[in-house]
Amino acid sequence: MRIGPTLIVDTFAEAFRLRYARLIVTAHDFHWLEAALRAACGYGTSVLGCDAEVGIEAKIPPASSPDGRPGAAVLAFSFAAEGLAKAIGNRTAQCLLTCPTASVFDGLPEAEERAPLGSHVRFFGDGFEKSKVIDGRRYWRVPVMDGEFLVEETCGIAKGVGGGNIILQGGSLAGTLAAVRRAVGAIEALPGVIAPFPGGAVRSGSKVGSRYQGLRGSTNEAFCPGLIGRVESELVSGTACAVEIVIDGSDEERVAAAMAAAMQAAAGPELLAISAGNYGGKLGKFHFHLRPLIAG
């Protein structure tokens, strides 16, 4: 099966059950919103080494934001609710409390599972903090030097899906990177999903385990062009560069839709093939077969 000149390899991506939270961040203007988002999403790539996988789901215009200011929805994913709650609390305190004019709202108000947010950060107010309940939701107002930090008391945690992926194989570095940007742009336009790695891309695709004791993951040599001829390769003939795109989402359907949109956008004359990473179907609950996604 092909999309134009690009081969869609007959394989599947293997994904996992994760927990996720959704925060709505607002600020005085787009400059300070971007500053808050860069800090809050930093070091949020792989849960193998980070406290959470974090990314911007969507920008929110002032007319649609909770307080009438520029805003954005941030998704954060981790294996367990307890670890996710700690990551969200730390990032709120270290990255959003500190950013001038930033405020934080819960983006999953209907979720039954709750995690502390403002209920922890409020202690920074040293007794001068105040709370207010609006429409059944409690907020904390923490005094800071530019006025106050407004933060919702708790945030919802729900079941999500992490690790959906595609691997783009191109005949040149420039051509592959152009395809990556098209694919990531298609993902960014969809609700409920993020591509958490730098620019949405992973050049260091990994496999489970390593020959070095203690490492949970190591380079996926089957997709490294520099190792062709030395290892069993999964790259099509002529591949000079391969880049993976990992997708996390609120549910299986949204991850599938994002993968399909990304493949359609990425395909082109400079892209030889699109594949995916899996572990033989033994580790992840969710299997996304590439060709049915395109055919559907």
Q: What pLDDT sits at residue 48?
A: 87
pLDDT digits (tens, 9 = 90+) for 158-184: 999 999 999 999 999 999 999 999 999
Place of tokens 């407004």: 150
In this predicted structure, the answer to whether residue 280 has a pLDDT above a threshold of 90 is: no
Tokens linked to 59: 């920008």
Rounded to whole angstroms, what are the CA distances from 212 to 208, 219, 223, 227, 283? Answer: 12, 12, 20, 19, 21
The pTM of the whole model exceeds 0.85: yes
Tokens linked to 156: 């919802």
Confidence of residue 248 (pLDDT cuts 50, 70, 90): very high
**Mean pLDDT for the stretch of residues 273-293:** 93
In this predicted structure, the answer to whether residue 208 has a pLDDT above a threshold of 90 is: no
pLDDT digits (tens, 9 = 90+) for 83-111: 999 999 999 999 999 999 999 999 999 99
Phi-psi region of 280 (alpha: psi -120 to 50; beta: other; left: phi over 0): left
Beta strand residue intervals within 211-255, DSSP E: 217-219, 241-249
3-class SS of residue 88: helix
Place of tokens 């993902």: 187
Cα separation of 130 and 198, whole Å? Answer: 38
In this predicted structure, the answer to whether residue 33 has a pLDDT above a threshold of 90 is: yes
Place of tokens 């420039």: 174
**Mean pLDDT for the stretch of residues 130-151:** 96
Cα separation of 204 and 212, whole Å? Answer: 17
Residue 263 one-letter amino acid: M
**Mean pLDDT for the stretch of residues 71-85:** 98
Query: With b meaning 16 or more CB within 10 Å and e meaning fewer, what string describes 202-224?
Result: beebbeeeeeeeeeeeeebbbbb
Tokens linked to 207: 């496999």
pLDDT digits (tens, 9 = 90+) for 223-236: 999 999 999 999 99
Rounded to whole angstroms, what are the CA distances from 25 to 38, 91, 138, 248? Answer: 12, 12, 16, 19
Structural domains in the chain, CATH included, are: 2-15+160-295 (3.30.70.520), 18-158 (3.30.70.520)
